[in-house]
Structures are given as C-alpha cells and as structure tokens.
Amino acid sequence: MINKVVNNIESALKGVESNMTFMFGGFGLSGIPENSIAALSKKDIFGLTCISNNAGVDNFGLGLLLKRKQIIKMISSYVGENAEFERQMLSGTLEVDLIPQGSLAERCRAGGAGIPAFFTPAGYGTEVAEGKEVREFNGKPHILETALTADFAFVKAWRGDTAGNLIFKGTARNFNPLMAMAGKITVAEVEELVPAGELDPNQIHTPGIFIQRILQGKKYEKRIEQRTVRSRE
C-alpha cells in the first residue's frame, strides 16, 4: 500500500507556481481546505485561476488570496459574501466566470471522469449560454458545457487514511469529492488521519487513487458565513 502522507503543509504544496489553476473544495465555508489556503496566501504566487463554489469571506478562505491579489480569475457559482471580491470585480482587476451551481459541480465531476463536455439545460437563455453550442433534446434546448480540471486540487475531509482514502462529512461532500478527482495533483487535508485499513470500505467517498498527498490538518476554525439567531423573547 502506497503511503501518501506528507508531514507538513510545505511538502503538500510542493510544485505550486504562479499562473496555475487551482480547485478548492468546500461549500460556503463548510469543508474548505483551511490549512492549504492559509499557506498559499503566504506564498509569492500570483496570476492564479481559482475554481471554487464560493470566494470565501473577507480575511478568511479564498478571501486571503484575494486580499493579496493573487487571484486573477474566479470560476464560481456564489460570490456574495466578500467585499474585496466585489471591489476587484467592479474595478476590472478580477475576471469572474459565474456558473450555475449544478453545472459547476458536473463540470468538475466530468473533468475527473475524463468526459470532455456535456449538454445541460441550465443557463439556456441567459448570459451563461453566450457563445456556446445549443442542441435540442426531448424538445428542450441544452447548452454545451466543457469539463473543468486543475493543476492542483485542494480538498478537506473529515477522516482519511495513509493511502489517501477519504470520508467527508455533511455539506463538505457537495464539492470536495468531485474536485478531488479533477486535479492533476490532489492534496487532501483531514481532521483525523488513520492507518490504511481502519476506514470502513463501505463508507469511503473518495478512493485513494485520486489523492497524491494527504496530511493531518491543524486548527480548523470552521467559520459560519452568516450566523443568524433569533431573540429569546
């Protein structure tokens, strides 16, 4: 069994360079690879294209990379919680490709599965469809969407083993498993790292064949984007 464990975040990020395309798992702030993002924000790498469900918030998540203007293009489905993102987009310094959430998920999954493109009805008749091929299936127009892949994919799992097998928890399953498949090099950080063989094979969401590097993560904040409470009255 191949041991894919790296001992520190510096080893996990070996090979990252400017002008690369990165994928980041997570849904909102749930299940984002916090350690990897924080470490990347301290590197002098710029001109990045980042594929993520969201753009983080100010001073956390991908907001850290936006703050240093490391990202030149964002490919996302939701970006509404980040004022720095808004400033850069409106000033024209950040290119933004907004994609329907289901289409974003499927484009990542297709990239990992080796499917170059697919047709979907989502986005037809909107700006999303501009310049894309349209075909009719069962009397309904569909647009052609291409697969997404990345030089590096960074994911975060609840549990993982030394062979790279991963188990995700809750909404962290929305994008992490899909993006784990689509990176040329996939780095997985986990809350709990166990020896190979300890995970129930029936519970594994991502098999280790998709993972090149795995490490035990540290100090997860697990922030909430918008904490909404009600009065006790």
Per-residue pLDDT of 88-122, as tens digits, reads 999 999 999 999 999 999 999 999 999 999 999 99
With respect to residue 90, please indicate whether it lies within any of the assigned structural domains.
yes
Q: Which two tokens stand for residue 151?
A: 């030089």
In a domain, 150, yes or no: yes
Report yes or no on 224 lying in a domain. Answer: no
pLDDT at 81 over 80: no
Integer Cα distance of 83 and 105 in angstroms: 25
pTM for this one?
0.92
CA distances from 187 to 36, 65, 166 (A): 8, 18, 11
d(CA 62, CA 97): 16
Q: Name, in order, each residue with C-beta under 8 angstroms of 206's C-beta and a sequence gap of 6 or more.
A: 155, 157, 165, 166, 168, 176, 177, 180, 181, 188
Q: Span 13-27, mean pLDDT?
A: 97
| Domain assignment present for 161 | yes
Does the residue 35 lie in any domain? yes
d(CA 176, CA 180): 6
The confidence band for 213, taking pLDDT boundaries of 50, 70 and 90, is very high
**Is the C-alpha dihedral spanning 35, 41, 43, 47 positive or negative?**
positive
Helix residue spans in 16-132 (DSSP H): 34-40, 63-67, 83-91, 101-113
User: Would the pLDDT of 233 be above 70?
Assistant: no
Sign of torsion over alpha carbons 59, 19, 172, 54: positive
Tell me how many domains the chain contains.
Answer: 1
Higher per-residue confidence, 223 vs 12:
12
CATH number at residue 108: 3.40.1080.10
Q: Considering only CA atoms, give the Rg of the chain.
A: 18
Per-residue confidence (pLDDT) for residue 204, from 0 to 100:
97
Per-residue confidence (pLDDT) for residue 128, from 0 to 100: 92
Tell whether 77 is covered by a domain: yes
Of 23-32, 55-64, 179-188, 214-223, the one with minimum mean pLDDT is 214-223
The residue-averaged pLDDT of 212-228 equals: 84
Q: Residues 153-168: pLDDT tens digits?
A: 999 999 999 999 999 9
User: Average pLDDT for residues 182-203, to the nearest whole number?
Assistant: 97
Mean pLDDT value across residues 34-41: 97
Question: Is the residue at 2 inside a domain?
Answer: no
Tokens representing 36 are 């990897």
User: Which residues constitute the domain of residue 130?
Assistant: 9-216
Q: How far apart are CA 144 and CA 115, in angstroms?
A: 12
Domain-embedded: residue 4? no
Q: Give me the pLDDT at residue 162, please.
A: 98
Task: State how far the alpha carbon of 21 is from the alpha carbons of 50, 70, 130, 133, 169, in Å.
Answer: 6, 12, 23, 25, 26
Q: Are 225 and 199 in contact (CB under 8 A)?
A: no
